[in-house]
Amino acid sequence: MPAEELAQQLRGRFGDILSEPVAFRGELTLQVADPERIHEICQVAKQELKFDYLVDITSIDNLGEDPRFTLVYHLYGYGHKSYLRLKLAVSEEVGQVPTVTTVWRTANWHEREIYDMMGIRFKGHPDMRRILMWEGYPDHPLLKDFPLSGRPGSVPEVAFTEKAPLAGGPFVTVSGVRDALSREPRARLPEADSEPSST
């Protein structure tokens, strides 16, 4: 069954909560008007329309716009080989949506990463802990207003205690140096600019 027909079936089930399907480069997107219904929509997509694989959940920071965030659910059905994308807007004030971990278990890590990097929480998630940064870290590093040079840390040996240098980008390693330690961004601090000779 073509993705267009599946998208229309989903829209027929939920009416104005879902937009008309928008096609771009052979892929279909439905905009979800009510974030509180995302769990129910995903459940129908999986159980009735056989989108049995959650490829990914991604997030976008639309800094300066309201609502600030967009969540994007990428779905695939192994049986019909069709992709479908669901998008929903999340305001910074609300900052949370229902979890879909009871629909696809793999949503667990996707949602934890979004929470860790962007600060969006998922109601009903079984384990809403950070997944990359440590517990107690005060920021969300993928927000557009997070400085590229990082922020000073207060935990020695866990994070930079000084800002990382901007030369070449804070997370860009340097090629052509003698060992892995010399490639680290913190090795490019001003006092480390002079490379020892290789002889």
DSSP string, 147-159: -TT----SSTTTS
The pLDDT confidence band at residue 46, using thresholds 50, 70 and 90, is: very high
Is 50 exceeded by the pLDDT of residue 119?
Answer: yes
Q: Report CA Rg, the chain.
A: 21
| Same domain as 87, residue 15 | yes
Confidence of residue 166 (pLDDT cuts 50, 70, 90): very low
- The domain tally of the chain equals 2
For residues 107 and 51, is the Cβ–Cβ distance under 8 A? no
Domain that holds residue 180: 147-193
Beta strands per DSSP E along 5-134: 22-24, 27-32, 53-61, 69-77, 82-90, 96-98, 121-123
Task: With H, G, I as helix, E, B as strand and everything else as coil, classify residue 88.
Answer: strand
Percent of the chain with pLDDT over 90: 64
pLDDT at 192: 47
In a domain, 128, yes or no: no
Q: Quick one: pLDDT band at residue 48, thresholds 50, 70, 90?
A: very high
Is 135 domain-assigned?
Answer: no
pLDDT of 154 reads 61
